[in-house]
Structure 1
């Protein structure tokens, strides 16, 4: 029977992983328990990663977590409010540039939608727009009727055209989930539709306002770390956990080059494959569920090369999906000036999977992230992991347990907190 607590003395809890999921666990659980947090990297924050760049080298730019909104990020928003994190308005416009500019449009205005002027009289473009409207109006009902349907099956079921698929939906999903076209079709349609509904993307009405952390996400990480230290959390960056062993009601962690330590509970706030690698005594259920979650690398480059943007300035948007129709892989550029209110005379972009198309003289920083692949197997594994939470006093946290976003990591921490905190202490 999974562990559950409603009262009792404070316990010793180890958290492995210093990204948003692990930090959120520490933030909430330290209200009652003794928390030790391990992180292999020297830097805490995970995908909350800010780099100083720009012409003068003093412009903070985010390369991972960038934006949030108050409606769909309630836990993150509450923490920002508690920590007095400074925020600023952002912009979440989306644009497409395919086949070396042969197909370009953006969804931020009528002028941008028809930024490629020939689209005004192109019946195929108008058919794509009609399909977008049909999809927005009918996708929820179709998914409700067939919950196990993939995105490719939904497109076929609704008789949506190839242009809708190749020039709108697949580029859009690729930009949101950093996933190549050949994987998008196998995604569960219900997960995509749920995300689009929650973010107001299926409505013609006003979308949710978006925000960014003023000064970069490092601003919230610094405030959060200070609060954790004040709460007595033992932060151990630069500490790699080699093995986790469970015996009875005790969990033993052995950090590389250190003596073993015992805890009442362990929370593995890492990627699923990393968590499995640490469990020296993983049972069959853990092995099957954790190994079912796949991840893919996405190389991010922070740079000042505008050649990655649409040929037509009218189509420049905060998020631009760029590439060739049917191209393997995903290439997405984030226009950081628009997203983080950076002056236009200091151009800054973050591009995923650019290959060798960026002028090396204009590169400020490079990093490789690993993002989950949300196919039907992954969604099934998510349900199995939820059912085994707390078994052998072991818990799993991570954005990969839902949709892969910052709030999803925080939400995974809150689900654990509801099981490990006395009711009177719950936030």
Structure 2
């Protein structure tokens, strides 16, 4: 008998489920927004008579740690191009600025060549990388340690922490410096080692989707786009007999055999009419935080020296609120998307009030999972709620919070239905 399946959400997890399950099930896909894609958010702009597609959410992937996503893109015949993944840090108060991409850009601020303080940061980076790789190779038990613990154990400088490793982690996970200090070390080591971030040279090749990330959405949804209900969120999911009753924002109710929550964990928990204690404990432990995102042309958000301009540019204010403030990062989209443009297009997180309003092209908000030991413990309890009583929960939050993880968690769900990529 063909199952009736509700899929809630059209991020990469929901779309992957729709793509695979539409072949064998009667699916209905709910989306509260008026567009498909979730964090795949390419914005079409007309700037000085030229149309451009600029990514503001999902931007990059690599050939080491995105095997499922790349397999999906190849199935869909989606074109992608190599890009540069470089990282800069600027602190005007401490007068430190560098871009770690090349030796030349590392010393974009030429005074650093003769600056012992800067050389200590470089030395500590090498020491930190070597020690972390040894932890991984020796399978050291780091389950009770945080990132700050290893910084303390290795007696690394505060400059190393403040101007290198904490900003890098904060940029990757859209977190505050205080949160990154408390990152579970095991989680950190696995991610940094797998992504080659503990290496100086041997690193993965990064890519962007040609024409913008949203280019993959039409081929991915071609077989089921008529089953997607836009501007139609879900307000309630309730057990009725042996079925699940889904109520949408218009008040319409429908019965399903299975429900796939391809939305954020906190959203899924809010939709459940009577969540179990386990569902409350697991989903409630996975928190999300809003980040302000602005697309603009204000190059004052980039490092002062053009040689220091990188793909990702972290800006430190070095004031009293620095530790608790969400990550302030500017993506140079000309570098990332290989744009041949006279203007420099930027996407900045969490520095909205400092951006020249005349240069703003669009403002958005996106939520990101907040990693902690509590969240990691909740991830390990996934089997206690996923697939239980025909309810399924998928999303990048079950792994590292990235696009590959969204696909991975969707495939975990689809395999329960006998569907494979």
Q: TM-score, normalised by structure 1?
A: 0.93
Query: 3-state DSSP class of the match of 2:27?
Result: strand
Q: Choose from 17, 37, 41 the match for 1:45.
A: 37
Q: RMSD between aligned alpha carbons?
A: 1.6
Runs of 4+ in 1 over 4 A off after TM superposition: none
Distance 1:248 1:110 in 2: 66
Match of 1:61 among 54, 64, 84: 54
Query: Alpha-carbon deviation of 1:245?
Result: 0.9
* 2:75 match: 82
- Listed one character per residue, the Cα deviations across residues 223-244 of structure 1 (whole Å, up to 9, x for unaligned) are 2121334xxx621111111100
1:90-140 deviation line (CA, Å, top 9, x unaligned): 111111111257110111100111111111111121111111111111114
Paired residue for 1:217, among 208, 213, 218?
213
Measured in 2, the distance between the counterparts of 1:364 and 1:251 equals 43
Distance in structure 1 (CA, Å) of the matches to 2:272 and 2:125: 46
Matched, 1:406 2:403: yes
Q: Which runs of 5+ in 1 are unaligned?
A: 1-8
| 1:149 and 2:149 correspond | no
For the residue of structure 2 that corresponds to 1:58, the secondary structure is strand
- Alignment correspondent of 2:120: 127
Unaligned runs of 5+ in 2: none
Q: How many aligned positions are there? A: 413
Shift of 1:148: 2.7
- The counterpart of 1:288, out of the listed 281, 289, 304, is 281
SS in 1 for 2:211: coil
Query: Which of residues 329, 354, 360 is equivalent to 2:357?
Result: 360
Hey, what does 1:27 align to over in structure 2? 19
User: 1:247, CA displacement in angstroms?
Assistant: 4.3
- 1:376 equivalenced with 2:344 (yes/no): no
Question: Taking structure 1 as reference, are residues 29 and 148 closer, same or farther at Cα in structure 2, changes over 3 Å only?
Answer: farther
Cα deviation for residue 13 of structure 1 reads 1.1
Q: Tell me the CA shift for residue 16 of structure 1.
A: 0.4
CA contact (8 A) 1:55 1:346 kept: no
How far apart, in 1, do the equivalents of 2:407 and 2:317 lie?
36
1:266 aligned counterpart, secondary structure = strand
Q: TM-score, with normalisation over the residues of structure 2?
A: 0.94
Q: Show CA shifts across 1:255-309 (max 9, x none).
A: 1224321111101111111100000010111111111111111100000000011
- SS of the residue aligned with 2:354? coil
Matching of residues 25-424 of structure 1 within 5 Å: 25-53=17-45, 54-99=47-92, 102-142=95-135, 144-229=140-225, 234-247=227-240, 249-325=242-318, 327=322, 328-329=324-325, 330-421=327-418
* CA distance in 2: counterparts of 1:113 and 1:81, whole angstroms: 36
The Cα of 1:344 is off from its aligned counterpart by 4.2
> Structure 1 residue 57: deviation in Å?
4.9
